[in-house]
Structure 1
Amino acid sequence: MIRVPAEPAGTFPDAWRHCVGTGRLDLALRRDYQDSLALLQREIGFRHIRGHGLFSDGMGIHRPYDHAGTRHVHHSFTHLDQVVDAYLSAGIRPFLELGFMPGGLASGDRTVFWWRGNVTPPRDLAEWAALVRATLAHLVDRYGIDEVRTWPVEVWNEPDLPDFWQDADEQAYHRLYEATAHAVKEVDADLRVGGPALSPGAGEGWLLRFAEFAERRAVPVDFVSRHAYSSGPAQHVPFGVHQTLAPAGRLLDQFAAPRRELKGTRLADVPVHITEFNSSYRPDNPVHDTAFHAAYLAPVVVAGGDLADSFSYWTFSDVFEEAGIPTALFHGGFGLLTHRQVRKPAYHLYAFLARMGRDLLTRGDDHLVTRHPDGRVTVLAWAPVDPSGATPGPDGHTLRLSVPVGGRGEAFLWRLTVDEEHGNAYTAWRRMGSPRSPRPHQIDVLHEASEPARSHRRLPIEDGRVDLPLTLARHEVAFVELSRVEDETPPWWDERRLLGREPA
């Protein structure tokens, strides 16, 4: 029996809500993307959204042209305005990632992803800085300085990897960062700029050298950023991969790394943003679609706020095309949602978090307990998993809590459950025969199968507490809400008379 304290230990950190990832920004022009974002914001409500491709040719911002024998550059914000308008209307703000390189400014033709984001340095650093200034000045003019100051500005993506920055040239990145950061501050000194958005494999030296460079050159750095993944090398199959997974605690180790590495430097106390995290770094790993994934990530999202100012789930939707156009509804995409807004178990993990209270009562290896201002007590509980794959994990997991609800009488219990059989459209889809393009009636079935199981009952209150036993199925994540019953049943009401018969 775990006795939950009656007095809060503080406020539960909501760093999990600060940001969420997205596919390239011009995907926001599509209807299925906007429908998915509207659902996400209605049921979860993230504050910022981050994705690649702001300066890639698909956004059409950098438009060089020749006139009268002279080269000029026109900056066009047609798509950018539509994307940002869509975000703000959905109640979410941009977390701006400045990249990739426009084709007309690139020094080479090396690209990444199916949609060919250019990863070479600018051939003219001054023209790049002008592009940054013009874009931010336009955003300030259109949306107001007070609004845009709330949008963090991150310089590039994973420059420590040659796939994302030509030859992983560290000195070239430092030059890019310096020019970019000064361009940002020229627009407004209070805009927040940071980086270097390192991959998990960057090693400790990269971030430390970035801090030394920033101090040596007096370059502004308002936050530091890195990414976190816990999967091993890809084992390829057609249109997918399989990978080993480290224990989920490895992700928390990566969340903690920046502050550990920057201790004693000028950047020791700046905010830390994990601008991408997930189990697998691949957009075609079926683990993302499973109940296992939700239970695996539960301890990470519950504890991550102790280690970083934000950690951004990569990504909110399977409207995502880095490895090409997906070949099936369920294809191992990063998204919390599939195409057509079918919720995955990991989506429900976040939706359950959105229902938790502000005051933290307690948490442990398999549970989180909070309280709302109106007295409702909420519990998030999850079953342990075996990330090695050596076993399917325990068949069941038992947790027993003594929960303070106050008063006397009875408490109303409301429970939502996601596991291998409930709230799990992936299981239903597999039993359907894994249809690549489900028919309309099959889509309807999958939406229904994605709903969590719901149950309710009354429990007695003794000495202001409820004895709450929870038995969790394999890979289950459960949400429980407890509230005191204020019984307003009329004195004449008698369930035995529903069919008009007088009670014996």
Structure 2
Amino acid sequence: MSPDEPVGTLSDAWRHCVGTGRVELALRRDYQDSLALPQREIGFRYIRGHGLFSDGMGVHRPYEWQGARHVRHSFTYVDQVIDAYLELGIRPFLELGFMPDELASGRQTIFWWRGNVTPPRSHTEWAALVRATLKHLVDRYGLEEVRTWPIEVWNEPNLPDFWENADETAYHRLYEVTAGAVKDVDASLQVGGPAISPGADEWLDRFAEFASRRDVPVDFVSKHAYTSGPAQHVPFGVHQTLGPAQGLLEQFATPRERLKGTRLGELPLHITEFNSSYRPDNPIHDTAFHAAYLAPVLARGGDHVDSFSYWTFSDMFEEAGPPTALFHGGFGLLTHRQVRKPTYHLYAFMARMGSELLARGDDHLATRHPDGRVTVLAWAPVDASGETPGPERHRVRLSVPMRTAGEAFVRRSTVDEEYGNARTAWQRMGSPRSPRREQLDILHEAAEPARYHLRLPTSDGRTDLDLTLTRHEITLVEVSPVQEETPEWWDEGRLLGRGA
């Protein structure tokens, strides 16, 4: 039952930030077309991706002149990327990495596109790169603007694949040098980390101790959250076990619990990556199950953190190489031809929720808009263990407050195994790896949620909703008062001219 008065304000931490494939991809037209879609329908505020300093962006350009080594910092591509972001109404959440090859101390790389993950051979030259980049951004976009952009130092340094030998001491040194360079440009710029992956929370303890002992600037804390088990590989894909969605919320809550009493305990906390699986080729990402699985996370995540960033907005993502099929288990809310996935609709539904929190349960979230409209997001609970397929039907009954008497207009939008689920249609087509134009048109059509409209009576200032959800369904119900303007002379029974 929803109370008449709000019990709080619904946090919008779920759309504060979204992830992306390496930032170099933003130079492509189809990437920008893809990003424009969620910006129209969801409205993320920040975007975060790897590779700002990787060679594909061409920032660090050493050269020889008169027998001496110099470095030219070039921002041609950086400007194009950030200009595109700002034009689409989204700001960069700057992740500083990976290492330019000419500055790297080793040859270890990660991903198909070979991001270098070794420390700098010259911390002085690395600091100059950071300072030059931020000074350029301040000059181009203005200090007040750049002060709003969080600056994160590296990505998952606790993993040897992302930071050579997962050398914690070397990361602390990199962080200290980087934070100092950031503050050299302006003391109000926001710098933070350590952007660790799940399962390494002791890094947070030592990061806090290091920051306190060395008096190192830290303006926010960041980490990542995933709930999948080890990858079971098949060609161009994986299968993985999956923990309960509650595990994501527990991971969100962990940093503040661990850092309580330290100088980092009250800082903003950003989950700069989260998803179910950490693999870009796990088909679970493409399913209706995934949307229902993440619904309670979006409903409650803001209770624990200042932001939690879905990894990622699009399947235009090349860590394991360019996608080999339209649906291939990519992280994206969208496929690489802008086909909406069920989890995209979860975010689009959240974007239509009100700010006043009326009720929240294990299978629903109810909110109200300032004009009195009530919006309900409901979902069918899922079994992440895979031991049961989940109930074929799930019933949600709510009584929602309406500020006016009369009848209520109800609009219901639904995504499940059949509707709003282009993957189902794609499989029935035969799973074409490169759909023809007419097939893509069908898939875009299949990706549309089912929509229903009805009128319900309002009694004693309340409208009763009785929702039956199918397996893995998420549904958005928007309830508003009917303002009757049908002319008094109109008789629907005479539609065909009968009667007098």
Aligned with 2:4 (options 6, 10, 13): 6
What one-letter code is carried by the residue in structure 2 that aligns with 1:358? S
What one-letter code is carried by the residue in structure 1 that aligns with 2:388? T
Q: Distance in 1 between matches of 2:388 and 2:433?
A: 29
What one-letter code is carried by the residue in structure 2 that aligns with 1:483? S
Q: Distance in 1 between matches of 2:84 and 2:432?
A: 32
Q: Distance in 1 between matches of 2:300 and 2:432?
A: 37
- The offset of 1:371, in angstroms, is 0.3
- The offset of 1:451, in angstroms, is 0.1
Paired position in structure 2 for 1:174: 172
Partner secondary structure for residue 245 of structure 1: coil
- The offset of 1:500, in angstroms, is 2.4
- The offset of 1:407, in angstroms, is 2.6
Paired position in structure 2 for 1:340: 337
- The offset of 1:273, in angstroms, is 0.2
What one-letter code is carried by the residue in structure 2 that aligns with 1:158? E
Q: Distance in 2 between matches of 1:28 and 1:408?
A: 50
Aligned with 1:74 (options 72, 75, 82): 72
Computed over aligned residues only, the root mean square deviation of the Cα atoms, in angstroms, reads 0.6
The equivalences for 1:286-301 within 5 A come to 286-301=283-298
Aligned with 1:487 (options 478, 484, 487): 484
Q: Distance in 2 between matches of 1:347 and 1:446?
A: 14
Paired position in structure 2 for 1:130: 128
The equivalences for 1:45-124 within 5 A come to 45-124=43-122
Aligned with 2:322 (options 319, 325, 342): 325
Q: Distance in 1 between matches of 2:148 and 2:35?
A: 20
* Aligned partners of 1:328 and 1:436 also within 8 Å: yes
Paired position in structure 2 for 1:372: 369
Paired position in structure 1 for 2:257: 260
- The offset of 1:294, in angstroms, is 0.2
Aligned with 2:276 (options 271, 279, 283): 279
Paired position in structure 2 for 1:143: 141
Aligned with 2:226 (options 209, 226, 229): 229
Identify the range of structure 1 (492-501 vs 92-101) with the bigger mean alpha-carbon deviation. 492-501
Paired position in structure 2 for 1:391: 388
Gaps of 5+ in 2: none
The equivalences for 1:387-466 within 5 A come to 387-466=384-463
What one-letter code is carried by the residue in structure 1 that aligns with 2:197? S
Paired position in structure 2 for 1:352: 349
- The offset of 1:497, in angstroms, is 2.2
- The offset of 1:87, in angstroms, is 0.2
Q: Distance in 2 between matches of 1:282 and 1:456?
A: 39
Paired position in structure 1 for 2:207: 210
Q: Distance in 1 between matches of 2:405 and 2:42?
A: 33
What one-letter code is carried by the residue in structure 1 that aligns with 2:175? Y
What one-letter code is carried by the residue in structure 2 that aligns with 1:239? F
What one-letter code is carried by the residue in structure 2 that aligns with 1:431? R
Q: Distance in 2 between matches of 1:66 and 1:320?
A: 35
Q: Distance in 2 between matches of 1:241 and 1:404?
A: 46
Q: Distance in 2 between matches of 1:354 and 1:447?
A: 20
* Aligned partners of 1:407 and 1:463 also within 8 Å: no
What one-letter code is carried by the residue in structure 2 that aligns with 1:401? L
Identity %: 77
Partner secondary structure for residue 339 of structure 1: coil
What one-letter code is carried by the residue in structure 2 that aligns with 1:82? Q
Gaps of 5+ in 1: none
Residues 83-127 of structure 1, C-alpha deviations (whole Å, 9 max, x = no match): 000000000000000000000100000000000000000000010
Residues 8-67 of structure 1, C-alpha deviations (whole Å, 9 max, x = no match): 112100000100000000000111110010011000000000000000000000000111
Q: Distance in 1 between matches of 2:235 and 2:31?
A: 26
Instruction: Give TM-score scaled by structure 2 length.
Output: 0.99
Residues 223-273 of structure 1, C-alpha deviations (whole Å, 9 max, x = no match): 000000000000000000000000000001100011011011111100100
Q: Distance in 2 between matches of 1:138 and 1:365?
A: 48
Paired position in structure 1 for 2:246: 249
Aligned with 2:42 (options 44, 50, 53): 44
Residues 119-177 of structure 1, C-alpha deviations (whole Å, 9 max, x = no match): 00000001000000000000000000111111000000000000000000000000000
Aligned with 1:477 (options 474, 479, 490): 474
- The offset of 1:201, in angstroms, is 1.9
Partner secondary structure for residue 52 of structure 1: coil
- The offset of 1:494, in angstroms, is 1.2
Residues 181-211 of structure 1, C-alpha deviations (whole Å, 9 max, x = no match): 0100110111000000000021x32111000
- The offset of 1:498, in angstroms, is 2.1
Partner secondary structure for residue 321 of structure 1: coil
Paired position in structure 1 for 2:190: 192
